[in-house]
Amino acid sequence: MGNNPLGVRKGTWTKEEDILLKQCIEKYGEGKWHQVPIRAGLNRCRKSCRMRWLNYLSPNIKRGSFTRDEVDLIVRLHKLLGNRWSLIAGRLPGRTGNDVKNFWNTHFEKKSGERENTENINPKLINSSNIIKPQPRTFLKLRPKETKKQKNIRNVCTANDDKQQPLSTSGQLEEVNERIRWWSELLDFADYVD
């Protein structure tokens, strides 16, 4: 705990630090994490600031214990996705990857051998061969601009499919529906695997 040789503070966050960080994010918004410690006047590294905000201070965070539905969803998604905590958390509003990971590690990881129902599944049984890799898809609002990789992939796809249409409004709606359908089928498949 305390400062390291470079002068960056480590360890548990104080109330004052939380306030400074919160004020900074509210003023400048999320992102540009390398600037956050300077702007907030915090003696913390950018990673520490980001982690603190995303896992604890963000107003979207839902605190408290997991509901039965949430646990069920976690179990099913973990069966399909493996330790893709951020992806699993993405299907649980208000929960973070760290939350899900901690929950899994404390409630499931150490209980291997004493399982009998879906709440006691041994995650160690999951390997790369039976994990379904998520399709490289993101929702429209989460895709502010095309990345290099996406551009490359799209170029390849377009070259192979000259019938590709530009996205219209109804097309975008269909795309969203398609993604919802994909997740539903994914969960149905999880039930099927049971």
Per rule CB under 7 A, is residue 3 in the interface with DNA?
no
Q: What's the token pair of residue 145?
A: 């601009």
Beta bridge partners of 3: 9
Per rule CB under 7 A, is residue 47 in the interface with DNA?
yes
If the CB atoms of residues 151 and 181 are measured against DNA, the closer one turns out to be 151
Binding mask 130-169 for DNA (x = CB under 7 A): ---------------x-xxxx-------------------
Q: What's the token pair of residue 41?
A: 């006047």
Among residues 39, 55, 91, 179, the one that binds DNA under rule CB under 7 A: 55
Stretch that binds DNA, among 29-37, 71-79, 114-122, 160-168 (CB under 7 A): 29-37
Per rule CB under 7 A, is residue 33 in the interface with DNA?
yes
Per rule CB under 7 A, is residue 31 in the interface with DNA?
yes
According to DSSP H, which parts of the chain are helical?
15-28, 36-40, 46-52, 68-81, 85-89, 97-107, 148-160, 169-193
Is residue 88 classed exposed, middle or buried when 0-12, 13-18 and 19+ CB atoms within 10 A define those classes? buried
Q: Collect all residues with Cβ–Cβ distance below 8 Å to 124 and sequence separation of at least 6.
A: 112
Among residues 5, 12, 128, 162, the one that binds DNA under rule CB under 7 A: 12
